[in-house]
Chain A
Amino acid sequence: MHRLPERDRPWVMRTYAGHSTARESNQLYRTNLAKGQTGLSVAFDLPTQTGYDPDQELSRGEVGKVGVQIAHKGDMHTLLDGIPLDEMNTSMTINATAAWLLALYMTVAEENGVERAALQGTTQNDIIKEFLSRGTYAFPPEPSMRLIADMIAFTVDEVPRWNPVNICSYHLQEAGATPVQEIAYSLSTAIAVLDRVRPRVPDETFPRVFGRISFFVNAGIRFIEEHAKLRAMGRLWEEIGRGRYGVDDDKLLRFRYGVQVNSLGLTEAQPENNIIRIVLEALGVTLGRAARARALQLPAWNEALGLPRPWDQQWSLRIQQILAYETDLLDYPDIFEGSKVMDGLVDELVEGAREEMAVVAEQGGAVAAVPYMKTRLVESHRERVRRIEAGELTVVGQNAYTGAEPSPLQDGEDGGILRVDPAIEQGAVEAVKAWRAERDEAAVERALDELSAAAADPEVNIMPATLAAAAAGATTGEWAGALRATFGEYRAPTGVGEAAAARDDSALVELRERVERVSEGLGRRVKILVGKPGLDGHSNGAEQIAVRARDAGMDVVYEGIRLTPARIARTAVDEGVHVVGLSILSGSHSELIPAVLRELEAAGANVPVVVGGIIPQADEAALLGAGVARVYTPKDFEVSRIMGDIVELVAEHHEVAAVS
């Protein structure tokens, strides 16, 4: 049979969206739904994701930037205003504070008279990949895992149509994972989660728990292999369900996944080409019926330039609609059944992933193996960067076919990107203060005390106390603050210290000689501080710079993510560095970089500052004007060249000769 008796229903179509305030985002959601989107995907800002209120120090510059700011149930009411929660399928990209945001969502539903049991959606809630790649963790690993287990144990009966956790391979690929690593590390994460839920639910409930675990997968430009990857994951998932957990219901064994296609491969150069990449990547996850995505969201063509505008997101939604409604994709059964190529690729990936999963298991499972996995990812990413620099991996418009006409897409006054009004932050700060002033303070205090007590007892499920705090009007920062006080703070391993040295090539050897010469001139080895100010956890760029600087012979101070400008300045002085490199991808550079410069000056540090990240051209000039020595953006993909530039800058600034 080569035709389906009835055409398949399309996947859930979403756009990862949200910015500024709850009110503006609500408007955006309504517009998107009117355009034919069939589900919501909520992007929260970094303070909300990491558990801070807008008026806390680390939130500075980040409020409303990469997503919507939600501080309490009032904000959630505004965000969801007029959206039928009993019909909507809402995906929330929320991890460390997932229990809190789910509680706010449930509270709003309840206050609008919608039953818990009717709620459908997903909380991302995969903390391991936050430690490995994305950086929005808040608590140490074990307490974080406990929160996840609590949510799963709670929702399986109370909110049975909710996906409490979406295990992410997506961000692993963004951090440089090979397909084998992507499969192995995400499935190992799923095992770590399931092992922790098992003692928290009755035996007869456990197969349903297994059935509620879903995945969030990436799809890169090698779309045939990417499709094979999904089939391999499906095969291994079933194997794990049957073998490790004794699940035998076919329905519960199904590998369920949603997709956001690759952002890592999107280029700043000739950005219009990105739309073609996105189409092909979307094919990778929809082509074969045996492993078709259940939900899809596509990035916008201009993500390497800045934040996408509504028009950019609409263009990506149209890709989905054309694929689903115009093509004949949904007319046929699995088109790869019996394909030698596909079967061969799947076998290869399954075998590789099994081996790598065994290594993780040997290390004590995914939680204990975070440092191991992180180091492997840093190494894989470095290899990818090296291959692009060497021209072994072709990226059209970036390292090949670089001559091009200017893109008319960037001609508009906005430069082709969305700008968030910086005044949003002040508004949010005042709004949260007003909220605190008007609520029943005693009730909030009682609820937070109970939350602390629940957190301190690992036998107690965190959800009831969290729901009570949400209903009482507590804030995101208060909820996370109570848990931080009990669980402690945590800084994830950076993976850079253990990353193996790069293979020597002529560029590196030449660079090393320059570093040696400048070091001699300085009297000390060139010392660089690589810093990530703000809440942005996307550390790949900073890590690659740190590792390459070490390989070039510099002494490198890298403290990981989430640093205040004051901390960066103090470190620069205490460590006696010769240059400071800052990386920001969250769009908060206009606030945070000048703040770092001010702190450095106040601390009496006389060091040049270079900045890398997603920096729109207009902002570049402003940063240079403010005293930044160099600005690097995704188009500067040659790390060696950046390094050489930095060495020269150090020589110039400290008045020593770089060339003999």
Chain B
Amino acid sequence: MASLAELGRRLRERDRSAAPEALNLIESRGRREDAAALLAEVSPAALGGEAPAHLVGVTGPPGAGKSTLLSALVALWRREGRTVAVLAVDPSSKRSGGALLGDRARIEHDPADDGILIRSTAAGARLGGLAAPTREAADALAAAFDVVVIETVGVGQSETDVADVCDTVAVVVQPASGDVLQFLKAGIMEVPDVLVVTKADLGEAATRARRDLAQALAAAGSGEVPVVAVSSLPPVTGIEELAGTIDAHRRSLDLGARRLAARRASALREFTAERGDSGLRALGGRRAAERLLAGENPDVGVNALIAALEARR
């Protein structure tokens, strides 16, 4: 289809109107090959380098104040002239398969502003973790926007997958909810790049939460991870500091290395989700699969890497 190359070109040229169409295609179950072809159009090889977008993961338990936080962050990024795409992932009902995609409602934005796009997606049938179309959507949007946010609900599991896709992962917690602290201590949770404590307007409780988290991080040997406090009620305070911290993290990265590692991790994860452990065994096990991926062209996208694994199966 000529239109796939055309769609890819429009994304590369940062044509906002190409984004919804690309996302519809990526979400279509019957068009996996078309999706792969489209993603090849925005791979590092096609772009001539890594996609310029900053891929930011924002994750945390329900009610932690992610949307209020994102509203303020989006507004700040827009003031700085950066274009923003938000992928809001909501859990699907196990019984009906349907989902209420509510979070976009809470992200305040100007509908006339072409520099912002919000797309809500359902997590789908998968339990926890990130569905392949969400990763693909992020890859497609990364060609067309300056900042791409993946917002997920949960704590303890989903942020690992988000880390496979994003440059910077911020975990959002509210004071007096001990789960993040417990998960950190127990080593269940991957250490995030930035920890955000919301509802700083709660005063004492927020200060305590911030201190406790800093201690838990230090105990986990990650004392350098920044903990930022923001208020949850408008007008939100602490946002400049948070945005600065997120930018600083990105600057500290060897982006090429992180993205490459992320692509390989995503390929392996999605291959395993599709083919199971038996699929992995057919490749000679996880280590062998990792070696295989390391031998592939570093500039191809995740779908091409998965195809390479499939070819050796």
Chain A residues within CB distance 8 Å of chain B? 140-142, 371, 487-491, 494, 496-498, 501, 504, 512, 515-516, 520, 522-525, 546-547, 549-560, 564, 566-567, 570-571, 573-576, 604
Contact = CB atoms under 8 A, between A and B. Distances in A.
Given A488-B235, A523-B29, A574 B119 contact: yes
B99 A556 contact: yes
Interface in B1-58: 17, 19-20, 23-24, 27-31
What 9 pairs between A and B have smallest CB-CB spacing? A488-B234, A567-B111, A523-B28, A497-B102, A559-B105, A550-B98, A576-B24, A553-B98, A553-B96
B18 to A, nearest CB: 12
Given A142-B233, A560-B105, A567-B111, A575 B119 contact: yes
A494 B111 CA distance: 20
B96 A512 contact: yes
A501 B96 contact: yes
B122 interface: yes
A566 B97 contact: no
Contact of A497 (B100, B108, B111, B234): B100
B95 A501 contact: yes
B101 A571 contact: no
B63 interface: yes
B154 to A, nearest CB: 14
B106 A491 contact: yes
Nearest to B63: A371
Interface in B98-141: 98-106, 108, 111-112, 117-120, 122
B23 A496 contact: no
In terms of DSSP, what is the predominant structure of the interface of chain B? mixed
B276 to A, nearest CB: 24
A491 B105 contact: yes
Contacts of B63: 371
9 contacts: A140-B233, A491-B105, A523-B28, A524-B27, A546-B100, A549-B98, A552-B96, A559-B105, A575-B20
Contacts of B96: 501, 512, 550-553
For A488, A496, A547, A558, the residue with the greatest tally of chain B CB atoms inside 10 Å of its CB is A488
B233 A555 contact: no
Contact of B112 (A524, A550, A566): A566
B239 to A, nearest CB: 13
A555 B19 CA distance: 19
A564 to B, nearest CB: 7
A494 B98 contact: no
A523 B98 contact: no
Contacts of A547: 100
Contact of A525 (B62, B100, B106, B122): B122
A486 to B, nearest CB: 8
Contacts of B105: 491, 494, 558-560
Contacts of B92: 555
A573 B98 contact: no
Interface string B74-107: 0000000000000000101101111111111110
Nearest to B110: A567
B102 A494 contact: yes
A574 B20 contact: yes
B98 A571 contact: no
A231 to B, nearest CB: 37
A516 B104 CA distance: 25
Contacts of B30: 523
Interface in B225-266: 233-235
A530 to B, nearest CB: 10
A558 B102 contact: yes
A524 B28 contact: yes
Contacts of A488: 233-235
Given A496-B102, A525-B98, A555-B101, 5 more contacts: A140-B234, A491-B106, A501-B96, A557-B104, A557-B120
Nearest to A512: B96
Nearest to B107: A491
A575 B120 contact: yes
Nearest to A547: B100
B117 A574 contact: yes
A576 B27 contact: yes
A573 B20 contact: yes
Contacts of B102: 494, 496-497, 558
A559 B29 contact: no
A641 B120 CA distance: 27
A512 B98 CA distance: 9
Contact of A551 (B98, B101, B106): B98
B74 to A, nearest CB: 14
Nearest to A566: B111
Given A488-B235, A574-B118, A559 B99 contact: no
Nearest to A489: B108
A500 B268 CA distance: 35
A556 B95 contact: no
B98 A557 contact: no
Nearest to A139: B234
A236 B98 CA distance: 42
Contacts of A570: 111
B30 to A, nearest CB: 4
A554 B119 contact: no
Contacts of A556: 98-101
Given A488-B235, A574-B20, A559 B100 contact: no
Contacts of A549: 98
